[in-house]
Amino acid sequence: MSAGRRPLVAGNWKMHKTPGEAREFCTALAALVGSEPSVDVAVCPPYTALAAAADALAGTSIAVYAQNIHEAASGAHTGDISAPMLLDVGVQGTLVGHSERRAAGDTDDQVALRVRAGIDAGLLVVLCCGESLDTRRAGDTERWVTRQVQSALADVHAADIDRLVIAYEPIWAIGTGETATPAQAQDACATVRAVAAERVDAAALRVLYGGSVNPGNAAELMSQADVDGALVGGASLDPESFAQIVEAAA
């Protein structure tokens, strides 16, 4: 982790927690890390819990991000949510291109449009990228990640750097208990940074690692030179566990 880049730890709740559960979680988390001065902290609740989370975290330093957005501001898009809708309930950022969304049908072209839409709306966009186990075994990780990042940043400009974060999440390590070694995380995050340098200031870009991050491995993973924080899955569902990861980032 570079001393010049402020670390970010974001918790992706996926399809967990009702509004009531989100409110209870956020109240507990704020008591643990709400005044943490050296780390940016965010939670990514499901759509139905975003307003409750934003209300519970009002006045704290913890941000609320969505898990995805649609590229259009409005229209005939049943089941989708736009950036203006998110902003209206107090959301400050969004994930885009998570592997679980890509597996459900989100295309590279859509991911690129959503990155642009989120930035233009004033959201902080956390672009996700990562390879499958078969891709890694084939020695194709660098090519795969390069393609994903280049495609997603096709319409991103240098001035967008303050609204962009990239999270490297190897698909084979998401929810499996398997974790990339610190060396593997460093290599992949360094690749992400090098590719993104074609579009933005790489020295200022925050690159996160995600994939079975927990309190036991967080510090070593985030000690790597090109790892500026973590996108946390299962371990973000418990406030004490998540707070320990934030402490490791600090």
What are the pLDDT digits (tens) for 86-134? 999 999 999 999 999 999 999 999 999 999 999 999 999 999 999 998 9
Q: What is the pLDDT of residues 20-58, one digit of tens each?
A: 999 999 999 999 996 767 999 999 999 999 999 999 999
Question: What are the respective helix, strand and coil percentages of the chain, to the nearest 5?
Answer: 45, 15, 40
Q: d(Cα 15, Cα 47) in Å, to the nearest integer?
A: 9
Please give the Cα distance from 11 to 232 (Å, whole number): 5
For the full predicted model, state whether its pTM sits above 0.85.
yes
Cα distance between residue 47 and residue 14, in whole Å: 10
Residue given tokens 């967008």 in the structure block: 160
Going from N- to C-terminal start, the domains of the chain cover: 8-249
The average pLDDT across 163-173 equals 94
Check if the beta carbon of residue 242 is closer than 8 Å to that of residue 10: no
Is-catalytic flag, 169?
A: yes
70 annotated active-site? no
DSSP output for 72-117: SSSSS-TT---HHHHHHTT--EEEES-HHHHHTT--HHHHHHHHHH
Q: Of 169, 178, 220, 240, which one is the catalytic site residue?
A: 169
Rounded Cα distance, 156 and 150, in Å:
10
- Percent of the chain clearing pLDDT 70 (strictly above): 98
Our CA angle for 149, 152, 155, nearest 5°, is 120
Q: Does the domain formed by 8-249 have CATH 3.30.360.30?
A: no
C-alpha to C-alpha distance for 56 and 7, rounded to whole angstroms: 23
Q: Tokens 């559960």 — which residue?
A: 21
Task: Give me the catalytic one of 36, 70, 71, 98.
Answer: 98
